[in-house]
Structures are given as structure tokens and as C-alpha cells.
Amino acid sequence: MEKVFGLSHLFMTVFLYCFANFMVVPAITDVTLAALCPGKNECSLAIYLTGAQQAMIGLGSLVVMPLIGNLSDTYGRKVMLTVPMTLSVFPLVILAYSRTEYYFYAYYVLKTVIAMASEGSVQFLALAYVADNVPENRRASVFGIMSGFASSSFVFGNFSTRLLSTSATFQVAAAMSVISLLYMRVFLPESMMNNNICTKSTETDCLLEKAPSKKWKLFKTLPSVDDTICLLRTSPTFSKAAVVAFFINVADVGLYASLMYYLKLQFHFNKDQFADLMIIVGIAGSISQLILMPILTPLMGEEKMLSVGLFFSCAHMVLYSIAWASWVPYAAAMISVVATFALPCLRSIASKQTGPSEQVIAIGKAQGCITGICSFASIVSPLAFSPLTDNAPFHFPGFSIMVSGLAAIIAFVQSVTIRPPPSPVDNCSDISSSSSTEPLV
């Protein structure tokens, strides 16, 4: 029971953090265009700056995410959650103060630098926290519930944006970011990362036990090439999941890098219409992950749920790309009620691909590896899609979004080949020990 109570604090932490970050999304396109190209609905500079930012963030995350995963395995999830949640406050404070050109560039630089070191880390550390405390057979459903809380925050955040002015949006977001940090530090217990070493007499004591105190050895926590290759070689399922993760993130980053500029140009969407669109996406995601996933996952299995989610991801991207009227994007957004199955199932599949003796210890490493692959996709996607958004080879305003849909199709085809492994592998430690007498944690 105490574990459920501990997870409730994690869910609230994720909700508050995502609320603060999601509520600025509908407003940032208008802010960017107003700062860089005042009075225009089309701005090549904004498109290329957004693409360059995403590529740099992806490059930084590729290096940092596996490191954060390893450090969280050693020093605790709560300790590592504190860092990105603290850093995320500062960019919001800048735009809360002013959104003129020079302040926007200050926000742009600071956001890029901070996101290079922390983008996506809160989400995957939260996933690792869940995996620490939830058995395998319930993990996909709990991952879906946590994603549902994130989707709910998406709804409430965008609904708040719909009611607030642009300046008030960033001020409230900055305040909520601080509140989420304080809530996490006060209420969230440290995760118990290894059931086998807990010597406490009760389940409550185990959950509340702090992470072990160890001497800070940064370079011994850096993941080696052998560690990453080991995860890919020893589990065919993990390798296939890695390929799926790469292509679906190429597709998602390509979609969201250009979607708002595309809708702004084609249908003159503004902050309020972006918020309406995202509210639909959030409600669909909440229904999917809080209601449908816990019911369907035990019946269908994670592998089939992953394939179904990816199929509908392809469908909604293609529908965006051929939108012929302003109502079509809203219809496409409704398809995300099924498309959102994909990522929780993918993360759950990846979390099960370590040996039983290391099942909890290696979860952060496995999640960090998947996040690093996603980060690499975030480098490739903007470099490929930004030119297509601004300069398609022929007149087709949704061309870059259509190509994103093709990348999602590749992910779908690969997901069909994923099968539940007959038994978990347990030889990563053997490979690692052959190159080092002191195993990485």
C-alpha cells in the first residue's frame, strides 16, 4: 500500500512538471514569430532556429541521458530528478518577464543549453522509478497510467493557456515549475532500487530507504560502448525496440517541428486554436492511457498494443499532411486516442530486457539507452525535415509531415516483428566484466 502511496506522489510530480511545460507550447509559436518576424505568418528563420535547437538538444541528450540513467541507478531517482526540474525553471522566468527580441534570444540560448543536459530526463527517470516499484506483469499498465497523468496535465495546461494572456501564461508556467520542484522534494520518497539488498523489516521502510551513499566517481558511471552494444546484442527484442524508438521519434520530432508553422501558414491558427487542438490531443491521450490501456494491455499484450498504436500514428500524420480544411487537423488529433498506446508499451518492453539478477539495477541504464537513441533521432530529424518544411521539392505544404508519416510506417513494420522473449537474458554483466574488474552500476 505504501508503494502505491509513493507512486501517487510521483504521478502528482509528473502532472505538475508537465503542466508547467505544456502550457507554454501553444504560445511559443506566436512568441517566436513576433520576436523574429513581426507581423508575418511565415518565417524561415523561425523554422531553421527551431530545427537547429532540436538538433543541438538531441546531440546533448545523446551523451547525457545514458549518464543520467547510470547515475540514477547509483545515487537514486529523486536526487537526479532534482537537477532537470530545477534547471527548467529559468527559461520560463525569462519569457515571463519579457518576450521582446533580445529576451527571446536569451531564452533560446538558455533553453537550448539546459535542454541539452536535461530534455526528457524527468520522463525517463519517472519511468525508472515506476519500474523500481512495480512488478513486470503490471508495469505496462502503470506506465500507461503515468502517461495518462501527463496527458491530463497536457489538457489542463492548454486549457489554462486558452484562458490566459501570453504574458500570464509564462508567469503561471514559471510559478508551477517551482511548485512541482518543491512538491517533489518534500513529498516524493526515494525509490527503492534493488529489492534484493533491502534489509528493512517492512515494505514501507524499504520504499523510504534512501539511495546508498557512494563516493562520487563520475567517469566510472559513464556508459561504455560495450554496455550499449551488450543491451543490443544480448536481446533481439531490445534491438528491435531500439529501431522502433529511433524511427517513431524521427517521425514525432519531424511532425511537431513543422506542424504549428504549417497550421499557422495554411489556416492562420493562433495561440487559442493551437490550445484547442492540443486539448483534444490531451483528452484523447488521457482516455487512452487511463482507461483503455489498463483494460486492453492484459488482453492483447504489449507487442500488439505497440503495433496498433504505431499504425494509428502513421494515419494521423498522413491526415495532417493532406488537411484540406481547418477542421481536418482536429479530426486528425482525435486519432491520437489510439496512437498514444505506442510509447508506454515500447518503454515497458525495453524495461524487461535485462537479466533477473540485475532487473532493477539495470533499468535506468536500459531506459537511458532508449532515451539516448531517441535523442539521436532528435538530431537526425530536424536536419532532414527543416529544409523540407521551408523548401519542398514541389508544391505540397504538408510534404515534411507526410515524410514523417513514412518514418512512422517503418517503425510500425519493425514493431510487427517484435515477439515476447522466451526468457530474459542475463549476460550483460559477463561482457562488461571482461573489460573491467569493477562492474558499472
Note the pLDDT of residue 118: 81
Note the pLDDT of residue 394: 72
Place of cell 545514458: 66
Rounded Cα distance between 234 and 421, Å, is: 11
Of 123, 107, 4, 144, which Cα lies nearest the Cα of 68? 123
pLDDT tens for the chain, residues 1 to 441: 445 455 888 999 999 999 999 889 888 988 998 898 887 877 888 888 888 888 888 788 777 777 887 788 788 888 889 999 999 999 999 999 999 999 999 999 999 999 888 877 888 788 888 888 888 777 777 877 887 788 788 889 888 988 898 889 999 999 999 999 999 999 988 876 554 334 444 433 433 444 444 444 444 444 455 666 676 676 777 788 888 888 988 888 888 878 888 888 888 888 888 888 888 887 887 788 778 888 888 888 888 888 888 998 898 898 998 888 889 999 888 887 888 888 878 877 777 765 443 443 355 566 667 767 777 787 788 777 777 766 667 777 788 888 888 988 999 998 888 876 554 444 444 433 333 333 322
Contact 424, 349 (CB under 8 A): no
Note the pLDDT of residue 353: 60
Note the pLDDT of residue 213: 42
Cell numbers that stand for 345 in this block: 508499451
Note the pLDDT of residue 439: 33
Cell numbers that stand for 1 in this block: 500500500
